[in-house]
Structure 1
Amino acid sequence: MSLIVLLLLPFVGSCLAAVLPHNARNAESILAGLVALVGTVQVALLYPQVADGGVIREELLWLPSLGLNLVLRMDGFAWLFSLLVLGIGTLVSLYARYYMSPQDPVPRFFAFFLAFMGAMLGLVISGNLIQLVFFWELTSLFSFLLIGYWHHRADARRGAYMALMVTGAGGLCLLVGALLLGHVVGSYDLDKVLAAGDTIRQHALYPVLLPLILIGALSKSAQFPFQFWLPHAMAAPTPVSAYLHSATMVKAGVFL
């Protein structure tokens, strides 16, 4: 399975989950679980290609004149996080089947859940800085929808807004930092950025872009001084907290 198909799989699953009947808890959880499980197996099978420092790379031309193409890359680090996103997603899908009440609108839950899974997967296998920031902000958007899933509760709405404001503002800082980083390197391609460490550290803009990128990372991972949003986000259903706040979204800051 190509990386592009792997990335599209959760988003296709999300669209399917959204149109299933209101009371289809079994079908929804099976769909989400199968999408995550198939992705997990496919990522696991890629291990020999990244085990010894190899990098899997796929590129689709989009705006080559601006250096903006759809680039997907997987090295050992991205492989580990992809396995985390999909493997834990499989377990949480099963758990959510027994956690969610029959009265809950499960199509909405699993549609947002799978869309978040796709956004998180896109983040860790992005091979372009602008593309990484795009998926970074998608995780904030879908986490807002998942945290505020029980929107009739004031604490859920408050927690969702707080998470969106903090991580969204951090994402804007990250965007500016990524634009400066691409300017310094002369490319937004992640492989070129990773190979230009000395050039970046010696540049006059380094003291500016480093704090901006750090703000993005620290706000997303709820590290000091941005840790205050995370307890409020626990108003979400427990499967959301288990997946977003323990296994995936806060790990995005660590990944970055």
Structure 2
Amino acid sequence: MADDALLLSLIVALPFLGSLLAALLPANARNAEAWLAGLITVGILTIAGILWPKVAEPAALRAQFEWLPEYGLNFVLRLDGLAWLFVILIAGIGLLVVLYARYYMSPDDPVPRFFSFLLAFMGAMLGVVLSGNLIQIVLFWELTSLFSFLLIAYWHHSQSARDGARIALTVTAAGGLCLLAGMLLLGHIVGSYDLDVVLASGPKIVTHPLYLTALILVALGALTKSAQFPFHFWLPRAMAAPTPVSAYLHSATMVKAGVFLLARLWPAMAGHEYWFWVLAPIGVATLVIGAFLALFQQDLKGLLAYSTISHLGLITLLLGLGSPLAAVAAIFHI
């Protein structure tokens, strides 16, 4: 069990360690940067493969470290089937993006900064999907907003890149504050911030007078991150980032964080009519608006942005329906 906990910790730690190392390499070390990032993603995929037999067991694999015990908060990493799927997506697509970025980036670009921010963002996303308590999820959640801001503004000499980064940070960070308030309410309702306790307290949550308030706050955090209507406007502007950044952050990982959160909290918060009325109409609106606007795009990045928004709307709709079959369909579509 101790070895499993160490492997689980390495999944989150490796990208952050790689980010520090990448920042120290020379400006012209494109090959070394790409090899470093590639080896880290391969290492994460290898660890995920080793841990697969544990994921197949009924109980989630946990690694717990003391953090703020006087407040009932510990640093907890938790791996179950949903988290394992997202680890594979984050690291697998990350490997392809690293390979593409090696040949995409110009020799004049500051490559260490690019790979350092990319690996840090990967670590933050892995932290979100593996977090085992509510406050820890918010911590990594805001780190994804910060590192996405730095990646979108990578070409900071461009006005469109600066504007896109600023809008993305404003929307997603504001959503993160709503998420923090929602998580604090959930912890108050349940009496614990531990994710396993929260997931087992569904009946207590949905019958509590503060359920609707907590649901709206959590939904605002998820919907802003996944660029759902009416917050969809930030994603097309973020496409001013380098193409590998657009592919990784805004089509494969960051925007998936919102629907991941809805799927993660589905066992605890779904099953009430408020869940349907808060999420399903927004999913339908985003699905239709994103598909409609995609028809009028003149470039592939714009088409990618609006088609991504539309697909995320479909996933939100499926999760909002509240039925187990629809939730399975949503995970399959991810």
Q: Same fold (TM over 0.5)?
A: yes
Please say if residues 230 and 245 of structure 1, whose CA atoms lie closer than 8 Å, have aligned partners that are also in contact.
yes
- What amino acid sits opposite 1:184 in the alignment? I
Match of 2:222 among 217, 220, 223: 217
- What amino acid sits opposite 1:28 in the alignment? E
Please say if residues 26 and 97 of structure 1, whose CA atoms lie closer than 8 Å, have aligned partners that are also in contact.
yes
Any idea what SS the aligned residue of 1:165 has?
helix
Any idea what SS the aligned residue of 1:57 has?
strand
User: Which residue number in structure 1 is paired with residue 210 of structure 2?
Assistant: 205
Q: Give the drift of 1:118.
A: 0.3
Any idea what SS the aligned residue of 1:46 has?
helix
Partners of 1:80 and 1:29 lie apart in 2 by 24
Match of 1:12 among 17, 20, 37: 17
Q: Give the drift of 1:61.
A: 1.0
Please say if residues 7 and 118 of structure 1, whose CA atoms lie closer than 8 Å, have aligned partners that are also in contact.
yes
Q: Structure 1, residues 98-142: CA drift from partner, whole Å, max 9, x if none? A: 000000000000000000000000000000100000000000000
Partners of 2:69 and 2:91 lie apart in 1 by 31
Q: Give the drift of 1:52.
A: 4.2
User: Which residue number in structure 2 is paired with residue 145 of structure 1?
Assistant: 150
> In the alignment, does 2:69 pair up with 1:64?
yes
User: Which residue number in structure 2 is paired with residue 114 of structure 1?
Assistant: 119
Partners of 1:51 and 1:243 lie apart in 2 by 28
User: Which residue number in structure 2 is paired with residue 85 of structure 1?
Assistant: 90
Any idea what SS the aligned residue of 2:255 has?
helix
Q: Give the drift of 1:53.
A: 3.3
Q: Percent identity?
A: 68
Please say if residues 50 and 75 of structure 1, whose CA atoms lie closer than 8 Å, have aligned partners that are also in contact.
yes
Q: Structure 1, residues 31-85: CA drift from partner, whole Å, max 9, x if none? A: 0011011101111221111124331101001211211110000100000001111
Q: Structure 1, residues 217-238: CA drift from partner, whole Å, max 9, x if none? A: 0000001111000000000000
Match of 1:94 among 90, 99, 113: 99
User: Which residue number in structure 2 is paired with residue 47 of structure 1?
Assistant: 52
- What amino acid sits opposite 2:23 in the alignment? A
TM-score by length of 1: 0.99
- What amino acid sits opposite 1:148 in the alignment? A
Give RMSD over aligned pairs. 0.8
Any idea what SS the aligned residue of 2:107 has?
coil
Partners of 1:253 and 1:178 lie apart in 2 by 14
5+ residue gaps, structure 1? none
Aligned length: 256
Any idea what SS the aligned residue of 1:58 has?
strand
Runs of 4+, deviation exceeding 4 Å: none
Deviates more, 1:115-124 or 1:51-60: 51-60
Higher Cα radius of gyration:
2
5+ residue gaps, structure 2? 1-5, 262-334
Any idea what SS the aligned residue of 1:204 has?
coil
